Amino acid sequence: MALIGRLHGAQCTPLRQQLRHADGIRGVFSLKPLRRGELILSLPLRYCYFAQFGPDDKHRPDWASTPEGARQLRRWNRGVALLPETWTWLQRFSSDAPSDCVLLTSGVSAELPPTGRTSAHEEGNNDDVGLASPVVFSLTVSPVEAALATAIALRYFYRRALHLTPATRAEKHIGPPPNELADRFVDNLPVDLYLKWGVETLYGDPASGEAHVCVEQIAQNLRDAALTHANTEEYRFLDEFLSLFDDLLLVCLYVVRSRVLTVPLLGRTEARREEKVCSVFAPLLDGLNHQPLRPSAAVVVSLRRAHVVVRATRDVRRGEEITLDYRAAGPRACLPTHDDSSATSLPYAVRMDEDWAARYLMEEDRLVDD
């Protein structure tokens, strides 16, 4: 929690980050008793990134690919101080980028078992009995998620993996410029742990196998973009340690996606009652674990205060973990969609953007011990 002192304007009740005794997972614990409604954490928006936002009924993954969505994402993420180089990558990854657009959507085809097709039986068409149904799984990464993953991977790669000194990086213009806040934030991310476990452990859930393949393909697109925009010295290092950078970029994409939370978005005035949600990536907030049954806190984005605000939803004991319900405002369940009125040869379309296991690397119904 040492990062809080470098986030100007942030407020935080006394907290401590430590491993849970039950399972060894890192969590955030309160160092004092808290009353319901008491402020736990308040972060200025200038340190937070918005990956997605909009009215609740229009919150869709392809929103950022529209011209309006691309412009709005850039407006909301302009000048964020956490990782300054993210802004450059966001411009490059925007759907309306002036140069060749980086593909942030991937799809894989597969077949559903015969039980997935019922319309043919209902219509009396016996020709389809016993045939598997074609299905296309797709996944889209927000330009903000892609920009954050690339920025974190490059900062980690040159500083932590290659151990280049700040003087060397500055002299030869290698990687992002040294930045104490950005370096400390990257150091606090579990990138080392993910690399130690091995990239293959991210594919442990067979139910999300297609989503994992899509994420890997998108990570390769980000790798190509990093090579395209690298100078001579950077390209030499990236080319020499390309396998390491591939693994690192994939890990960082998972790290970023698992730390993007969908939360309520409160307007600037009380008169606006339209319910909105946004997907936010914020320091310190990413350390709060999921607890679906009895979370101790809730988070909102307050435009009036220009802060991300976390408050206790019940009384919290001293030494108790601060947890959130990630499902409070999203993401939605990933369900196959298919128009039965279409020809039977058309595939099912399954969007895996918010597949729970692939995004948060945990089973959907996993419970956290209280």
Amino acid 58: pLDDT: 45
Amino acid 269: pLDDT: 54
Q: What is the dihedral of CA 82, 202, 278, 50, to 10 degrees?
A: 20
Residue 204 domain flag: yes
Same domain, 100 and 249: yes
Residue 56 domain flag: no
| Confidence check: pLDDT of 21 > 90 | no
Poorest-pLDDT segment among 33-42, 50-59, 202-211, 256-265: 50-59
Same domain, 226 and 91: yes
Same domain, 69 and 12: no
Range of the domain at 325: 1-48+282-334
Amino acid 244: pLDDT: 95
Mean pLDDT across 165-194:
93
Mean pLDDT across 47-52:
94
Amino acid 113: pLDDT: 59
Could you tell me what percent of the chain has a pLDDT over 70?
79
Mean pLDDT across 106-131:
55
Q: What is the DSSP string of 185-205?
A: HHHHSTHHHHHHH-GGGGG--
- Give the model's confidence band at 137: pLDDT under 50 very low, under 70 low, under 90 confident, else very high: confident
Residue 55 domain flag: no
Amino acid 202: pLDDT: 66
Residue 121 domain flag: no
Q: How many CA atoms, within 13 angstroms, populate the side-chain half-sphere of residue 212?
A: 16
Same domain, 33 and 98: no
Same domain, 233 and 88: yes
Nearest to 358, CA basis, from 181, 244, 224, 215: 215
Nearest to 52, CA basis, from 137, 138, 146: 146
| Confidence check: pLDDT of 153 > 70 | yes
Same domain, 221 and 302: no
Give me the number of domains the chain comprises: 2
